[in-house]
Each structure stands twice: as C-alpha cells, then as structure tokens.
Structure 1
Amino acid sequence: MHCGGGRRVSEHPFRAAVRPLVDALGGQLLEPEQAGADDVVLSWEGCEVVAVRLPHLADSLDRILADLERRHGMPLARLDRKAKQSVVRNLEARGAFTLRHGVETVAAALGVSRFTVYNYLNRENAEPGGAPPRPEGA
C-alpha cells in the first residue's frame, strides 16, 4: 500500500518510531487494513500508517514480569527481600494489582506467598511514622 509521496506504509518512519513502544507494551503492529474493531489505527499526515493490536491485560503482567527478570538478570524469585519489595512497588505503580489474580501471579513470580506481597504493599502504603495497616482478619 502506498501513502503520500509513493512511500510504502510498511516502510514509513512513523511505523519504525512506534515499534519500541508497541513492543514494550506487548502489542502487535499490523497493516491498517488488517485492523479489527478493538485495534488502534495510527495516522500520519492524513494517511493510515499502522494498526496496533494491544495485548490482554493478563498477558501484559506476564510480559512486565519477564521484562523485570531481564532487567535484574535473574529470576525474580532469586532476588533479595529489598529488591523484591522494589519490584512490588514498581508493579503497584503500574497497576498490576488491579488485575484479577495479580497478587497471586506476582507472588508466584517472586517465590513468596500472597501474604508476603500484601505485607510489602502494606509496608509501602503505611503512613510515615505510623504502624503499618493490619491485614484483614488479623
């Protein structure tokens, strides 16, 4: 497909520019004519250049966990407690715990219990100088 100036859409520099972002999100680049109802078609100067298929949220969490393992250079379960707490803070900031089974998925990746993940979250969310909130039922 050609778009303005005879340039093929598949070679458009905008497509190359958004590729790292789409890859980081775990999405997929498609030709605009392949876009489905839930895909996002991106245009440049009035020309449809690329369609983006976003991943399901649960798949995104798995991708984020895999990326964190790459960044740390080891399985998350082998990190020390302080590093695991940092991972939990990072995941909380990214909304991981709003997903159904998010705590369980993260706990499994870190090699800790759900209770430990909740403790990390409670410790982080405790007011400065105050006692951390107690888990429900405690």
Structure 2
Amino acid sequence: MTAADAQEGRRFADAVKPLVDAMGGEMVSPEEAKGDDVVLAWEGRDVVAVRLPHLSDSLDHILAELERRHGMPLAELDRRTKQSVVRVLESRGAFSVRHGVETVASALGVSRFTVYNYLNRETREGGDQGSPGA
C-alpha cells in the first residue's frame, strides 16, 4: 500500500466517522474485525471496520445525544418537547428494543402510560391528517 493509498483510506474513515459516532458504533482496523462487524472498503481495499452497538446500548446513546442536543436532561423538557422526543425515538426504532418504553419513560421522567399516550397521540394525529375534513 502506498502512502497516497493510506492517506485516501484515512480520509474515507474520517468521512464516515460522524455517522459511526451518531450510531454509537466503534471504528476498528479491518484486521480486528469480528463476525458482526461491518468492513468498509474503498476502491477495492478494506479501510475500516465498524463495530455496531447492541440495540440497548444504541438506545442509551440516542438518549444521551438528545440530551446534548436539548442542552438539559430530558426529564426537564416541557411536555410538547417530550412528545417531540418520543416521535424522534419512535422513528429511530427505540420502541422495538426490549424495555424501550421503560427506558424512555425513565429518561423523560414520566410513566410508561404517558409514553404510550404520546405514541397513541402521534398515531391519532398522523391518521387524522390524511382523512377528509380533518
């Protein structure tokens, strides 16, 4: 491998790093890749392997990122913003994770019942938007 190839590989890895970080993944060398890791190649050469987090770790990572984005603990957000957070989490599959509702409820400082109400509210509003006379 030439120095130019190595530099190009580093630029590729730098380009995908924000995406890997957003997913809560870890970048390792292709030689360190394990069975579940995703090896990324650039121009026919393995450049970097991405170790994806377990789904439950990913949910924790998403919640932490939402706290950073809002600049405060999620439990301190107003009701409307919490509802928005639930919509974001639903779109990212947070509630398909075992104990996802409980984890989100705890982070938001609300009950599971409240999270289900937020989800049902979104479903009702989404359904009404497409109906005649709504």
Alignment TM-score > 0.5, same fold: yes
Q: Aligned pairs, how many?
A: 127
Q: Is the 8 A contact 2:59 2:94 kept in 1?
A: yes
Unmatched tracts of structure 1, length 5 or more: 130-138
The alignment partner of 2:128 has SS state of coil
The alignment partner of 1:42 has SS state of strand
Q: Report the TM-score, using the length of structure 2 for normalisation.
A: 0.89
Q: Report the TM-score, using the length of structure 1 for normalisation.
A: 0.86
Equivalences for residues 45-124 of structure 1 within 5 A? 45-124=43-122
Which has the higher mean CA deviation after the structures are superposed, 42-51 or 3-12?
Answer: 3-12
Deviation of 1:4 (Å): 4.7
1:32 to 30, 33, 46: 30
Q: Is the 8 A contact 2:89 2:95 kept in 1?
A: yes
For residues 10 and 104 of structure 1, the distance between their equivalents in structure 2, rounded to whole angstroms, comes to 44
Q: Which has the higher helix share?
A: 2
For residues 10 and 37 of structure 1, the distance between their equivalents in structure 2, rounded to whole angstroms, comes to 26
Identity of aligned residues (%): 68
Q: Is the 8 A contact 1:35 1:41 kept in 2?
A: yes
Any idea what the Cα deviations from partners look like across 1:29-83, whole Å, max 9, x if unmatched? 1111110111111111111100110000000000000000011100000001000
Unmatched tracts of structure 2, length 5 or more: 130-134
One-letter amino acid of the structure 2 residue matched with residue 44 of structure 1: W
For residues 2 and 87 of structure 2, the distance between their equivalents in structure 1, rounded to whole angstroms, comes to 46
One-letter amino acid of the structure 2 residue matched with residue 56 of structure 1: H
